[in-house]
Amino acid sequence: MRWRWLKVGGSELPPNPPSFFGTKEGRGFGGGSPPPTFLRRTLLILPLAAQAPDPLPEVMAALAAVRESRAAFTEERELPELDRPLISRGVLTWRAPDRMEKHTLEPVEERFLADGDTLVLEQPARGIRETMALDAVPEVRPVVEAIRATLAGDLATLREHHEVVFSGTFARWRMVLTPRSLRVRAAVQRVTLEGEGGAILVVETQMRDGRTRMAITPLR
């Protein structure tokens, strides 16, 4: 079931996908990075892992180690009013500590940038460019932090906005986030992230009625 989403555009993802957000140095912070990198990182984390069997800190540390990355995404949105899902594609960019950009390229171009406390939403076709403070839209912040704080490996911020339930292993994990704010929960019930090591591969958002699932493929 889960793997269905990784089948994007008719082509199956490689069995051992490269890191979702590949870094410039070629190091993904994602799981399934090329063997040398993977080995090196595992060696670094090994002593910690030996002490604490809980892989969550390990995953967070691996995520935090990635300073920059780029990845392609395919998003499917299912809504009760629609008889088939809406599909859009684009590029995700991450730069530590807090710059995350979702650039949708098709079918309608849109740029969504969370940089520090600033949100920018651009829809060139409609001539829309809006800048907002994240503080000014408290109901959006948890949704942004669900992905951004995870990318940053910032568990404290993540827990500030969500209940975090982690399952799986370092190599293949799954994190279910439930927004703490009732107001937010009225719109977004749950955000589920799946990944391998320091890479996020799937972000699934369950909304009141409807959900989106974003499958992520690292780029180099």
**Residue partners of 180: CB distance under 8 A and separation at least 6:** 142, 160, 161, 162, 163
Residue 210 sits in the site that holds another protein (CB under 8 A): yes
Q: How far is CA 109 from the centre of its chain?
A: 20
Distance CA 196, CA 95 (A): 19
Distance CA 151, CA 18 (A): 16
Residue 82 sits in the site that holds another protein (CB under 8 A): yes
- Of 49, 64, 65, 79, the one binding another protein (CB under 8 A) is 79
**DSSP SS3 for 182:** helix
Q: How many CB atoms lie within 10 A of CB 91?
A: 14
Q: How many CB atoms lie within 10 A of CB 56?
A: 17
Residue 133 sits in the site that holds another protein (CB under 8 A): yes
# residues contacting another protein (CB under 8 A): 31
Distance CA 213, CA 219 (A): 19
CB of 66 to another protein, least distance (A): 23
Per DSSP, 69 falls in state: E
Residue 48 sits in the site that holds another protein (CB under 8 A): no
Residue 169 sits in the site that holds another protein (CB under 8 A): no
Cβ closest to another protein, residue 10 vs residue 107: 107
Cβ closest to another protein, residue 27 vs residue 102: 102
Residue 52 sits in the site that holds another protein (CB under 8 A): no
Residue 206 sits in the site that holds another protein (CB under 8 A): no
Summarize as ranges the residues that interact with another protein (CB under 8 A). 77, 79-84, 86, 88, 102, 104, 107-108, 110, 112, 116-118, 121, 123, 125, 130-133, 135-137, 187, 207, 210
